[in-house]
Amino acid sequence: MAFQTILRVLVVQLIATFAIIFPAHAEQTKLKVNITPEIGSFTVMHNGQPVTIMRNQDTTHKIIDDYALTSRSCPPFCVQPMNLLPGVTTIGELEMIQFLKQKATGDKNLLIIDSRTPDWVAKGTIPSAINIPWTQLYRESSSYEPLVVEEILTDRFGAQNEDGIWNFTKAKQLVLFCNGPWCGQSPTNLIALVNMGYPAHKLFWYRGGMQAWNGLGLTTVKP
């Protein structure tokens, strides 16, 4: 039974990889709303299942109510800067898509991180993203626990704790996002990571977040 499960997972991963490397041109031409002239759709893995990312094909479709608001109380929902921290790269949708495709080919040195609290994630997230809420890494949060942070850094991010000193030589590239330019959850995570010594050049910030992703009609999934 265990062998069959492993075999099934390997087959699904092979199909997803094949779909990315050799996209079906017939499917591409059927789409009315492509991502770019060259990209109609592509497949990633989310919780062990293949998910096709594409734009909503209904040209009358409108953004969902959660992201329709133009004005939120500031603070805390203030407009974030384009350049958050020195060395941290701000990216847009096409760069995020390249990271998603890179991860889908089996890159183990890359994580896509949804920094929002679980209540927001439950409404939908970017396929293949994992959830690490800002409350877990922010020292002033009531949910902050040093042992949990250490586990995240070592087991999930690939950092090494050497006699109390963090070694990030083998740490993964991280792409973080939250709700949008008015959201401080991914910036809080990024600031916390840089303060811990995480190399800024290994950190990427999708500033547009879920508001921009939804605004373009791109595929979301619920955990």
β pairing state of 42-46 and 49-53:
antiparallel
Is the model's pLDDT at 166 over the cut of 60?
yes
Question: For the chain, which domains are there?
Answer: 2-215 (3.40.250.10)
Is the model's pLDDT at 192 over the cut of 60?
yes
Is the model's pLDDT at 195 over the cut of 70?
yes
Q: So what's the pLDDT on residue 60?
A: 96
Q: Which of 176, 53, 173 is nearest to 110 (CA)?
A: 173
Q: So what's the pLDDT on residue 164?
A: 87
**Average pLDDT rounded to a whole number, residues 86-109:** 97
pLDDT digits (tens, 9 = 90+) for 121-157: 999 999 999 999 999 999 888 889 999 999 999 999 9
Helices and strands: H and E segment counts in the chain: 8, 9
Q: Which residues contact 71 (CB under 8 A, 6 or more apart)?
A: none
Q: Which residues contact 157 (CB under 8 A, 6 or more apart)?
A: 111, 171, 172, 174, 198
